[in-house]
Amino acid sequence: MSSPSALSLVIESWLRRGVVDTVRHLAEEQSFDRVHGVRTTGRVPVERLVKRVESAWPDTSEYQPVPAALFRAALAAVPAAARAGAFVDLGCGKGRALVMAAEAGFRHVRGVELARPLACQAELNAEAVASRLGVTLEWRLEVADAAERAFDPDETCVFLFNPFGRLVLRRVLDRLSRSLAAHPRAAAVIYVNPQHLEVLAESRALTEHSLGKTRIGGVLDWAVYVSRCTGEMGLGRR
Ligand SMILES: C[S@@+](CC[C@H](N)C(=O)[O-])C[C@H]1O[C@@H](n2cnc3c(N)ncnc32)[C@H](O)[C@@H]1O
């Protein structure tokens, strides 16, 4: 998938969020790695790192870290019950979302990434944050195609920062539906920059919970979907 330039992203943010939020966002992005003691910044075209992956190619986004402000806003919308289990980032890149999930209190944190060099960096970042937080974290970094990976029954918070297109997303959601049918549980899917939201909307296992819209223009920044079981358990919105 082709990606817009950094300048066009700044202009787009300016138009959607206004000057103050854009400047605040840029300042946080500039200092994120220094403040958190990790290395997550930079954009990496994944075709440089992965020669060929049958199921995912060319349905793959380049690496760029999730904007910290969007991650925080989306995670805050997730029902508490879906925050109680493991966090899994499909297309974790260098692990920005994993670092922020650990900081937000998740103690079981997993990343799945096609490109080994990115997953290796995610592992270093995970070690750095675990040692900085001084808590016991269960980390698992898998170099794998998300379309081929089965969900574990303790995984309740699935994170996607627009990592792939419809093809892979459908296969991922199909696997998630099967896992939820076999092990019914409160679970949430956080989808930042939800380019293919219609695929989530098609899912019979999930239902829309919250949408994060930009201040100007009302374009979607993120969406949170929850398992139908989450609603039945009366856990609703936080
Ligand atoms: C936009 S980046 C997201 C990075 C990270 N989730 C974050 O929020 O900071 C998308 C990542 O998804 C990975 N990716 C794309 N298709 C994938 C697939 N089928 N399986 C696993 N990872 C994939 C890319 O290599 C890239 O690192």
Q: What is the per-residue pLDDT across 59-109, written as a single tens digit (0 to 9) for each?
A: 788 899 999 999 999 999 999 999 999 999 999 999 999 999 999 999 999
Atom 9 in ligand 1: which residue has the minimum CA distance? 65
Q: Which CATH superfamily is domain 6-232 in?
A: Vaccinia Virus protein VP39 (3.40.50.150)
Which two structure tokens, joined as six digits, stand for 223?
A: 């969406």
Strand-pairing partners, residue 188, are: 157, 226
Q: What is the mean pLDDT of the chain?
A: 89
Query: Ligand 1 centre from 91 Cα, in Å?
Result: 3
Index of the ligand 1 atom closest to the CA of residue 162: 1
User: Could you tell me the pLDDT band of residue 197, with boundaries at 50, 70 and 90?
Assistant: very high
Q: Is the full-model pTM beyond 0.95? A: no
Name the β-bridge partners of 63: 44
Are the beta carbons of 156 and 85 closer than 8 angstroms?
yes
In this structure, the number of other CB atoms found within 10 A of the CB of residue 8 comes to 10
